[in-house]
Amino acid sequence: MKIHELREQRAAKVVEMRGLVTAAETAGRDLADNERTRFDGLKAEVTGLDRRIGEGEVLAELERRAEAEPITAHGEMATIEARYSLAKALAEHNETGRLSGLEAEWAAEHRSGRRGAFAVPVSAILGSERRSLTTGSTGGNLVATFQQPTADRIRPLLAVEQLGATVLSGLAGNLDLPKLSASGSASWVSENGNATRTDPTFAKVEMGPKTATAEYQISRRMLLQSQPALETLLRNDLSFILRETLDHAAVVGGGANQPTGLLAAGTGISIISAGTNGAAFGLDLAADLISAIPDGVAGQRGFLTNAKVRGAAMKLKDGQNRPYGLPAVFQGEAVKYSDSVPGNLTKGTGANLSAVIYGAWSDLIVGYWSAVDILPNPYHADVASNGGLLLHAFLDCDVAVRHPESFAALKDVVTQ
């Protein structure tokens, strides 16, 4: 019998013992002979259950130690992250409240910030979408005698990191990023003349943790029957929607409970006008975006836009009706496409306009304050009566633009 089942039996017997005593006290008497006999019997059963629970805990600890892979170097942590199994950790935590093997090693090194939760590597779980997984719904496609790899859904790209955004992990407390906002000046002097003293000006960009969350409902049968497929789903879907949420916030986030994105008001990046009612994207507008970034800005540069702009750019032709091709339209610069870039903007009479962002992406800072905290909840009203599990995932993160002058954007591109 599993440890959690023994604990449930023990709790039920203690409740019955308390009921016997409470009934006698309410009546102002001692326990009757039959009540005393029942009480002593329950006491003996509780003692036996305590012994079995203790033995099970000792055995679980010995098994954990036997399976654990000691960490002897920093490089082995990356190996553990690569081999980490969320499905195994979830099953163990749900049954015994303990983890074993390399999952236990990683959790020991990275404590969760939430009671009852366990920490999972960001690299293994890295995007708020609510789903219910049961074997009778779409989750049933994961249950089979011989389970093949699950076909993944179509997913938008995590564009800002691919373009070279700076990623900071393992942060603690709020973070101030210092920057040089104005340089001093140099001057020419006569022989034996004194130099003119000037001072540089410094500023800072503040970052603080903001929490992205996702939630899944998983049936008991799903947990029992489909661990290999569940592992794939948890890694590639639950993790992704957290990262997708962060990617979207980096582009259009409005601040407050979420990060402030590049296109949000107040970031200070250059916004270039395509026209009164918007205009089609082409070589001239691409050149305008590139020219808006000072030559002295260092870092990997590139364009970020959506599939609608890509489709329109592919149709652009020269005077002899020959397609320019995407490399020519984007001036030979790197370009990524993401659904995180809006395609429903308005300007004047223009509607469903798209955005195009160009910049030195290393000046976009993505910070992580936590691993992904996974909180299994079998007690919620939605799952307690059917043995399922409500799975909550939390990621504390933020995005900041260190140098607004490193970015320029169009918010009025016509694609129809």
Average confidence (pLDDT) per 10 residues, the chain, 416 residues:
72 86 86 90 88 75 52 54 74 74 75 66 53 44 42 55 85 72 66 70 77 82 65 69 85 88 88 93 95 86 95 93 93 92 94 96 88 81 82 86 92 92
Instruction: Please check whether residue 364 is in contact with residue 250, taking contact to mean a CB–CB distance below 8 angstroms.
Output: yes
Structure tokens at 12: 């039920």
Task: Report residue 140 CA to chain centroid gap.
Answer: 26
pTM of the model: 0.63
Q: Please state the domain extents for the chain.
A: 1-67, 75-109, 118-181+198-416
- Backbone phi, then psi, for 190, in 5-degree steps? -75, 170
Instruction: Please check whether residue 383 is in contact with residue 389, taking contact to mean a CB–CB distance below 8 angstroms.
Output: yes
* 330 vs 337: CA distance, rounded Å: 12
| Structure confidence at residue 149 (pLDDT) | 42
* 305 vs 237: CA distance, rounded Å: 23
Contacts of residue 194, Cβ cutoff 8 Å, sequence gap at least 6:
none
List, for residues 127-171, the tens digit of each pLDDT value: 333 334 444 444 444 444 444 444 444 444 468 888 989 888 778
Q: Scanning the structure block, which residue is given the tokens 């959690």?
A: 4
3-state secondary structure of 48: helix
Instruction: Please check whether residue 333 is in contact with residue 358, taking contact to mean a CB–CB distance below 8 angstroms.
Output: yes
One-letter identity of residue 359: G
| Structure confidence at residue 97 (pLDDT) | 72
Nearest 10 degrees: Cα torsion 315, 316, 320, 325: -80
Structure tokens at 256: 């407050």
| Structure confidence at residue 271 (pLDDT) | 95
- For the stretch 178-199, what's the b/e string if a residue is b when 16 or more beta carbons lie within 10 angstroms of its beta carbon? eeeeeeeeeeeeeeeeeeeeee
Integer angstrom CA distances of residue 20 from 46, 50, 145: 15, 21, 49
Dihedral sign (CA 67, 71, 76, 82): positive
| Structure confidence at residue 230 (pLDDT) | 66
Integer angstrom CA distances of residue 132 from 142, 147, 223, 379: 13, 20, 13, 16
Instruction: Please check whether residue 407 is in contact with residue 359, taking contact to mean a CB–CB distance below 8 angstroms.
Output: yes
Question: pLDDT averaged over the chain?
Answer: 78
- Backbone phi, then psi, for 259, in 5-degree steps? -60, 160
List, for residues 233-259, the tens digit of each pLDDT value: 666 677 678 778 888 999 999 878 889
The CATH number fitting domain 118-181+198-416, selected from 1.20.1440, 3.90.1690, 3.30.2000, 2.60.120? 3.90.1690
Instruction: Please check whether residue 13 is in contact with residue 43, taking contact to mean a CB–CB distance below 8 angstroms.
Output: no
| Structure confidence at residue 373 (pLDDT) | 81
